[in-house]
């Protein structure tokens, strides 16, 4: 319990003292800015989203708590992950609060190392015309961490298909 409280206080303090210069490098678009089970506001039909490709990495536009960001489509990530910088941006905009902090957890990164993150609740995650509510996500305690759209959101859609020739992803 003491470790969780320390992590939460560390995140809050870093949000208050860190400037958000360079947020766009980690995925926030420069154009603009209840803890229940996850649910989707649209459960039928298809949603097609155009992906952008940068050096072999595919990104898709996602709206998090009303703020537009570009996430890496990562089926290997267990959760949606955001960096300290993005968390601070959402906090300063009033789109993330201390009530959204659920605890902390250790994660194994793709290179095999272990990192600690803060578990948060994202009130809304919007992809195209679909909105997920109350989605578990992680704040990675690293300012350079990429934004990853992982299984905590992707699993809610059921079938996901990718057309690499058209740079499109379809959620069914």
Cα–Cα nearest to 163, from 46, 44, 45: 46
pLDDT class of 110 with cuts at 50, 70, 90: confident
- The residue among 13 and 55 whose pLDDT is bigger is 55
Q: What range does the domain containing 80 cover?
A: 2-171
| pLDDT tens string 21-58 | 334 334 444 433 333 333 344 445 789 999 999 999 99
- For residues 33 and 17, what is the distance between their CA atoms, to the nearest angstrom? 20
Q: CATH number of the domain that 162 lies in? A: 2.40.70.10
SS3 82: strand
- For residues 101 and 67, what is the distance between their CA atoms, to the nearest angstrom? 18
pLDDT at position 11: 52
Domain count along the chain? 1
pTM: predicted TM-score of the whole model, two decimal places = 0.74
Residue tagged 């992680």 (tokens): 138
What does the pLDDT average to over 60-71? Answer: 97
> What is the CA 17 to chain-centroid distance, rounded?
22
């Amino acid at each position: 319990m003491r470790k969780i409280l320390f992590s939460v206080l560390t995140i809050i303090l870093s949000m208050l003292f860190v400037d958000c210069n360079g947020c766009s490098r980690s995925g926030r678009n420069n154009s603009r800015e209840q803890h229940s089970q996850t649910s989707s506001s649209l459960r039928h039909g298809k949603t097609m989203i155009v992906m952008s490709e940068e050096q072999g990495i595919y990104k898709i536009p996602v709206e998090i708590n009303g703020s537009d960001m570009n996430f890496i489509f990562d089926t290997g990530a267990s959760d949606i992950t955001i960096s300290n910088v993005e968390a601070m941006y959402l906090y300063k905009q009033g789109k993330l609060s201390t009530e959204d902090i659920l605890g902390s957890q250790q994660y194994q990164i793709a290179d095999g190392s272990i990192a600690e993150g803060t578990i948060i609740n994202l009130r809304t995650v919007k992809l195209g015309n679909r909105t997920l509510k109350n989605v578990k996500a992680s704040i990675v305690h690293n300012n350079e961490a990429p934004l990853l759209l992982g299984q905590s959101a992707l699993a809610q859609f059921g079938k996901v298909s990718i057309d690499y020739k058209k740079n499109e992803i379809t959620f069914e």
